Amino acid sequence: MAEIGFQRVAAGLQVLKPAETDSLDTFAAPPRGFAPYQFGSGTASGQFNSLCRASSSALHLEYFSPAVPIPVLWPKHLLNCISHCRYNQPAQQFPRRTSRRHNTMRSALRMRSALLGAARMQQRAMPASRFYSQASQLRPLDASKLSITKTQSPKALTKPEELVFGKEFTDHMLAIEWNKEQGWMEPKITPYQNLSLDPATCVLHYAFECFEGMKAYKDKNGRVRLFRPDKNMERFNKSSARIALPTFDSKNLIELISKFAQLESRFIPDQRGYSLYLRPTMIGTQKTLGVGTPGSALLFVIASPVGPYYPTGFKAVSLEATDYAVRAWPGGVGDKKLGANYAPCIVPQQEAASRGFQQNLWLFGKEEYVTEVGTMNMFVAIKDKATGQKELITAPLDGTILEGVTRDSILGLAREHLAPAGWKISERKYTMQELYDADQEGRLLEAFGAGTAAIVSPVRKISWKGKMVNCGLKESEESGEIALKMKNWIEKIQYGDYEHEWSYVTPQ
């Protein structure tokens, strides 16, 4: 919200220009489809004046503090202004014996009446565009404007068996700039290159950064496929909006990523298990040490050829239940794919590794709810104690859990294939105590993580409060039945073994 220092104002609720100390120059986020007026030049004040002159009441405003947060100037939000303002009649109009508190209460009622009247009149007479500049005035992301500059020095291909996740990159990158005056610039595919950022760039100081993880696959006919790119774009937009970065049209970005993947298709080995890892990223690029909405941003996509997560087959991992650190909390941003969510997780992971565990299992609250495993969503399969019914469980999307594309795919496939066989598919809270009890009673069937990199990662055991919870695997087994089925079902879709709505074939 813009912080606007109000002085006493004359009749008609006239609004002055922002004080020089304003930290932001825009209003709070507007309704969907509209972008806010820029307030720094006073453009919006004219609209607010017009709105307020619709009321016949002569009102005077006086600030409570030098910087008063003013909400969005949208009719249904106008009453929020009351909490920041007070009505002041000239002192001579009130008897001296009238209490200050009484005057304030009476003036608040008059303010409410006046604002309601103004809002009703303006809703009838003034189109929405009078309050907010149309989003269409800023350039939308347009895939048809793409320009491609190919490298003059193509890289040699690495042998598939020598590929290491995230270590090598392709010849090119996709980049699109954005600024608050014009919107999205023309997309460009250029040779892979370094970014040039001023030391004061806001992403370096305040973590204006979000990203996605997705893959391109090559089917038996040599066609390049993406797996559920619409879900990645949906989450990407949610992440960027949460940290005040610009949003974009998903279809256009999918089209651009498809053309980029096609251009780099020679980096995808013609072998099962290999793919091209795609990393769409957005950063705030405004040069400022002020904390505020970035006035410019950069969306870029790079690609890295990768091999199977388990090149020699599944290898079940051991976990340490982490109760001394928290990955996410209610009301936070644990459900968004922000870079700032990942760095704080490294130290607890290192501590788990120092005690002989491959990953840590994140617990939350005094109940010790199971949330995620490392950077993956967590699934467990147990038998009901009373009925014996098998249940596949994962934590619900309560704001602390990342909306994983693989997570959603496993749930969809489980409801399609397992539910008819009598399984119960649940998104619910469950605790470490529940898993421990299920293990002790022989009801814990298996556990596994789920994510883009590995699809599934089977869990052998979990260390918890000095006790070891065994997750249903025999010493000779590296995966449970459900994890293996999920991997096979998803891979068949990813590599186009049969046509499925989740598989997107990139145009050649």
Higher pLDDT, 49 or 137: 137
Dihedral in degrees, nearest 10, Cα atoms 249, 295, 31, 401? 70
- Give me the pLDDT at residue 10, please: 32
**pLDDT grade for 20, boundaries at 50, 70 and 90:** very low
Query: What token pair was written down for 220?
Result: 């038996």
Higher pLDDT, 243 or 12: 243
Query: What token pair was written down for 314?
Result: 């599944």
Average of per-residue pLDDT across 476-491: 97
- Give me the pLDDT at residue 102, please: 53
**Helical axes 229-242 vs 250-263, angle rounded to 10°:** 120
- Residues 253-288: pLDDT tens digits? 999 999 999 999 999 999 999 999 999 999 999 999
Average of per-residue pLDDT across 298-306: 98
Locus of tokens 């200050």: 100
Q: In the predicted model, what is the mean pLDDT of the chain?
A: 82
Whole-angstrom Cα distance, residue 419 to residue 406? Answer: 18
- Residues 192-204: pLDDT tens digits? 999 999 999 999 9
- Residues 137-169: pLDDT tens digits? 899 999 999 999 999 999 999 999 999 999 999
Is pLDDT at 43 greater than 80 in this prediction?
no
Q: In Å, how far are 102, 126, 130, 246, 375 from 122, measured between CA atoms?
A: 30, 5, 10, 29, 49
**CB environment 248-287: b (16+ within 10 A), e (fewer):** bebebbbbbbbbbbebbbebbbeeeebbbbbbbbbbbbbe
- Give me the pLDDT at residue 23, please: 36
Question: How many helices and strands, by DSSP H and E, does the chain display?
Answer: 9, 23
- Residues 116-139: pLDDT tens digits? 555 455 444 444 333 323 344 899
**pLDDT grade for 312, boundaries at 50, 70 and 90:** confident
- Give me the pLDDT at residue 109, please: 55
Higher pLDDT, 491 or 89: 491
- Give me the pLDDT at residue 396, please: 98
- Give me the pLDDT at residue 117, please: 57
Higher pLDDT, 8 or 450: 450
Note whether 352 and 319 are within 8 A (CB). yes
Is pLDDT at 113 greater than 80 in this prediction?
no
Provide the sign of the torsion angle of the four alpha carbons 499, 500, 503, 506, taken in this order: positive
Is pLDDT at 372 greater than 70 in this prediction?
yes
Dihedral in degrees, nearest 10, Cα atoms 239, 181, 138, 213? -20
